[in-house]
């Protein structure tokens, strides 16, 4: 009797624990207002986490991108990148994001409820390497043009397109920009006597490159026809071309375009390779808009960065400073009028809205990625599909449960009823275990759960069949029940442990939804063993006690 009391106490305790684990509680979530600021809100709900395939959202896997150079210590680089990505994604203000490292060189990001795939990818993946570089004042590109043209001739670049090029430089005035803006250009060209013809008469007889590049309005700035973009980009990525540039100078492309005589031109810059300052000193960035420059991002540097910035800008008064983000010159390089302290601003390119400024501030504040990342996997599930999946799974689960209840009642009558009562507790325990371990419910997980209901009755069936056999041998009801439970135990334990082992392997080597499946399966099996061998047995003992040594058992 006292044994029975303990048993009942344990069952009640388990039920209470389960109810506690599943009790709806307040969950704090960060929400984003329309203006981009955040606020915390609390919602009340059952603490079962839904996977992305049920809640809708995006799963993103990012790998180290080694296409632009081998990364030496990938694992360590990924650790640092992880911090940056985490700050950025959490800044998005979506609740319950999961950002983790997988293996040595991958970052996994789960963002529930996000609908804009490209935006999320951009925020996670943007390198956000910010540099301030002074535009070249030494006519470096002009001096290099003969060599560049020679390289272009060697490679056979732009020969076939020469007719297009001549028509694209229709007026002498435009091509004159190159030499006309400063007479010293001609002088520089003469110094390069052997091939000076190509720079002094650029429009027709000039090489493929000098034909395509026009001087801009500030030193180091150039224009090119947007049609030549691909050609120039691949040309300036060539290592021989980079070697032909003056030492300590780099070519970078601009973000903006301009319209001259109904033709779209884009900007190209020759810059001092050494940045006067980089984004690592940046402490804050926020979007703003100004009537003059449109959308801008204001930033603030820390003290050390501020001192350095002041010193460098003081040295470069009168020069133009290019703000370079991920190798793209943002907006129009401003002239430095006087030394600048800890504050500055970045003019976003044309046609950028406030959201892109917000995203840029977010990315700048989080810092630059230490390594470039490339997208390895994207899984994007709409919220409606997730809802459908949940509804379908519930429908299938309810029908399965109804069928199983009917089968058990038809075959085992009263004992079947006890088994069903046990099954009810099984469902409760399983869900509670999932909640307690903060497991994620996925669609395969739900399917596994439905399946496990079918498998869970197996233990009961084993026990009941064994009790029937013992009764057939003429044992009393009480002995038959004891023997039945005792003899069925080894089969139940052995078969369930092997299933747990398989599920554990699945957990170790599976990913995403499949991991959810393995967790549900394990929780289900453990709960099934507890209910069939302990809970249902207690029900039997209770019944035996109540009916004081029954002669027959409805089984």
Partner 1 sequence: MLRIFHGTKYDFIKPWRIAVGLTVAFIAIGLVYLGIHGINRSIEFTGGTLMQLEFTQPPNVADIRTTVDAAGYPNSEIQQFGGSREFTVRAAGHAAVNGAAVENTATQIQAALERKFGATNLKVVRTEIVGPRVGEELTRNAIIAILLSLVVTMIYLAIRFEWRFGVAAVIATGHDLLSTLAFLAIMRLEVSLTVIAALLTVIGYSLNDTIIIFDRVREDLKKNRTDSLYVVLNKSINETLPRSVLTHVTVAAATLSLLLFAGEVIRPFSWIMLFGIVTGTFSSIYVAGPVLLWIERKWPRARADKNLASRAAAMDASRSEPRAPVASTR
Q: Which 141-180 residues touch partner 1, going by CB under 8 A?
A: none
CB nearer partner 1, residue 43 or residue 502:
502
Q: Which stretch binds partner 1 (CB under 8 A): 255-263, 292-300, 305-313, 398-406?
A: 398-406
Instruction: Decide: residue 532, CB within 10 A, 0-12 exposed, 13-18 middle, 19+ buried.
Output: buried
CB nearer partner 1, residue 346 or residue 393:
393
Name the minimum Å distance from CB 503 to partner 1: 7
CA distances for 292 relative to 288, 329, 348, 349, angstroms: 12, 19, 12, 13
Interatomic CA distance for residues 523 and 221, integer angstroms: 65
Report how far apart the first and last C-alpha atoms of the chain are (Å, whole number).
Answer: 24
Interatomic CA distance for residues 183 and 305, integer angstroms: 38
Q: Which among 291, 220, 279 has a CA at the least distance from the CA of 249?
A: 220
CB nearer partner 1, residue 109 or residue 296:
109
Residue ranges in 363-382 that form contacts with partner 1 under rule CB under 8 A: 374-382
Rule CB under 8 A: is residue 240 a binding residue for partner 1?
Answer: no
Name the minimum Å distance from CB 415 to partner 1: 9
Q: Which among 377, 316, 309 has a CA at the least distance from the CA of 124?
A: 377
Task: Encode 339-366: b = buried (16+ Cβ within 10 Å), e = exposed.
Answer: ebebebbbbbbeebeeebbbbbbbbbbb
CB nearer partner 1, residue 130 or residue 503:
503
List the alpha helices (DSSP H) in 473-535: 477-509, 513-530
CA distances for 359 relative to 58, 122, 253, angstroms: 18, 9, 21
Residue ranges in 485-504 that form contacts with partner 1 under rule CB under 8 A: 487, 490-491, 494-499, 501-503
CB nearer partner 1, residue 250 or residue 447:
447
Rule CB under 8 A: is residue 326 a binding residue for partner 1?
Answer: no
Rule CB under 8 A: is residue 453 a binding residue for partner 1?
Answer: yes
Interatomic CA distance for residues 426 and 495, integer angstroms: 18
Q: With contacts defined by CB under 8 A, how many residues of the chain interact with partner 1?
A: 77
CB nearer partner 1, residue 507 or residue 534:
507
Three-state SS sequence of 296-343: EEEEEECHHHHHHHHHHHHHCCCCEEEEEECCEEECCCCECCCCCCCE
Instruction: Decide: residue 206, CB within 10 A, 0-12 exposed, 13-18 middle, 19+ buried.
Output: buried
The two three-digit tokens of residue 17, written as one number:
């624990």
Determine which residue in the list 410, 474, 546, 551 makes contact with partner 1, applying CB under 8 A: 410
Rule CB under 8 A: is residue 422 a binding residue for partner 1?
Answer: no
Strands (E), 136-234: 214-215, 221-225
State the DSSP code for 79.
Answer: H
CB nearer partner 1, residue 330 or residue 471:
471
CB nearer partner 1, residue 9 or residue 497:
497
Q: Which stretch binds partner 1 (CB under 8 A): 71-79, 186-194, 330-338, 515-523?
A: 515-523
Name the minimum Å distance from CB 492 to partner 1: 9
Name the minimum Å distance from CB 161 to partner 1: 18
59 and 108 in contact (C-beta within 8 Å)?
yes
Interatomic CA distance for residues 121 and 58, integer angstroms: 10
CB nearer partner 1, residue 322 or residue 431:
431
Name the minimum Å distance from CB 230 to partner 1: 9
Rule CB under 8 A: is residue 233 a binding residue for partner 1?
Answer: no
Rule CB under 8 A: is residue 67 a binding residue for partner 1?
Answer: no
Q: Which stretch binds partner 1 (CB under 8 A): 180-188, 204-212, 344-352, 394-402?
A: 394-402
State the DSSP code for 135.
Answer: B
Rule CB under 8 A: is residue 554 a binding residue for partner 1?
Answer: yes
Name the minimum Å distance from CB 485 to partner 1: 14
Name the minimum Å distance from CB 402 to partner 1: 9
Rule CB under 8 A: is residue 327 a binding residue for partner 1?
Answer: no
CA distances for 124 relative to 65, 113, 128, 280, angstroms: 13, 16, 10, 18
Rule CB under 8 A: is residue 71 a binding residue for partner 1?
Answer: no
Name the minimum Å distance from CB 412 to partner 1: 8
CB nearer partner 1, residue 236 or residue 258:
236
State the DSSP code for 195.
Answer: G
Interatomic CA distance for residues 484 and 82, integer angstroms: 56
Name the minimum Å distance from CB 473 to partner 1: 12
CB nearer partner 1, residue 37 or residue 490:
490
Rule CB under 8 A: is residue 260 a binding residue for partner 1?
Answer: no
Residue ranges in 87-126 that form contacts with partner 1 under rule CB under 8 A: 117-118, 121
- Any idea which residue has 């996977």 for tokens? 51
Task: Please name the helix (run of DSSP H) or strand (run of DSSP E) that holds residue 260, with its range, or none.
Answer: strand 249-260
Name the minimum Å distance from CB 246 to partner 1: 31
Instruction: Decide: residue 122, CB within 10 A, 0-12 exposed, 13-18 middle, 19+ buried.
Output: middle
Rule CB under 8 A: is residue 509 a binding residue for partner 1?
Answer: yes
Q: Which stretch binds partner 1 (CB under 8 A): 21-29, 239-247, 476-484, 506-514?
A: 506-514
């Amino acid at each position: 009797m006292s044994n029975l009391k303990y048993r009942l106490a344990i069952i009640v305790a388990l039920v209470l624990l389960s109810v506690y684990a599943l009790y709806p509680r307040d969950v704090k979530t960060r929400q984003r207002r329309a203006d981009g600021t955040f606020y915390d809100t609390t919602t009340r709900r059952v603490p079962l986490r839904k996977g992305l395939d049920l809640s809708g959202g995006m799963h993103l896997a990012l790998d180290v991108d080694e296409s632009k150079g081998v990364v030496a210590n990938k694992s360590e680089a990924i650790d640092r990148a992880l911090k940056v990505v985490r700050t950025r994604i959490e800044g998005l203000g979506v609740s319950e994001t999961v950002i983790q490292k997988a293996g040595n060189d991958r970052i996994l990001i789960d963002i529930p409820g996000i609908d804009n795939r490209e935006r999320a990818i951009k925020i996670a993946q943007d390198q956000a390497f910010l540099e301030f570089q002074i535009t070249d004042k030494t006519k470096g590109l002009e001096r290099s043009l003969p060599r560049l043209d020679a390289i272009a001739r060697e490679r056979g670049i732009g020969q076939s397109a020469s007719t297009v090029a001549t028509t694209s430089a229709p007026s002498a005035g435009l091509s004159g920009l190159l030499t006309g803006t400063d007479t010293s250009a001609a002088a520089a060209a003469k110094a390069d006597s052997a091939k000076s013809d190509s720079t002094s008469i650029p429009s027709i007889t000039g090489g493929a490159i000098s034909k395509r590049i026009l001087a801009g309005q500030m030193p180091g700035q150039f224009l090119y026809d947007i049609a030549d973009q691909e050609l120039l980009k691949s040309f300036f990525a060539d290592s021989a071309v980079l070697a032909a540039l003056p030492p300590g100078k780099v070519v970078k492309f601009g973000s903006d375009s301009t319209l001259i005589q109904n033709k779209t031109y884009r900007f190209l810059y020759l810059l001092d390779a050494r940045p006067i300052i980089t984004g690592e000193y940046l402490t804050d960035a926020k979007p703003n808009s100004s009537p003059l420059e449109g959308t801008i991002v204001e930033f603030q540097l820390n003290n050390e960065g501020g001192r350095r910035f002041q010193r460098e800008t003081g040295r470069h008064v009168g020069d133009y400073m290019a703000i370079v983000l991920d190798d793209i010159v943002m907006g129009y390089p401003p002239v430095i009028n006087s030394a600048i302290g800890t504050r500055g601003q970045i003019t976003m390119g044309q046609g950028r809205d406030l959201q892109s400024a917000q995203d840029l501030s977010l990315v700048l504040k989080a810092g630059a990625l230490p390594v470039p990342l490339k997208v390895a996997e994207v899984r994007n599930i709409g919220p409606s599909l997730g809802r459908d999946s949940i509804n379908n799974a519930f429908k299938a689960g309810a029908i399965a449960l109804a069928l199983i209840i009917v089968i058990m009642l038809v075959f085992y009558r009263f004992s079947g009823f006890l088994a069903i009562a046990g099954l009810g507790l099984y469902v409760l325990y399983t869900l509670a275990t999932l909640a307690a371990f903060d497991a994620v419910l996925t669609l395969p997980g739900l399917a596994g759960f439905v399946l496990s209901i079918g498998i869970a009755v197996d233990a009961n069936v084993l026990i009941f069949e064994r009790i029937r056999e013992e009764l057939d041998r003429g044992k009393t009801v009480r002995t038959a029940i004891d023997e039945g439970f005792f003899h069925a135990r080894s089969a139940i334990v052995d078969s369930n442990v092997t299933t747990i082992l398989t599920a554990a392997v699945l957990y170790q080597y599976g990913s995403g939804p499949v991991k959810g499946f393995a967790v549900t399966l394990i929780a289900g099996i453990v709960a099934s063993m507890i209910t069939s061998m302990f809970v249902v047995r207690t029900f039997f003992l209770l019944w035996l006690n109540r009916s004081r040594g029954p002669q027959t058992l409805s089984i």
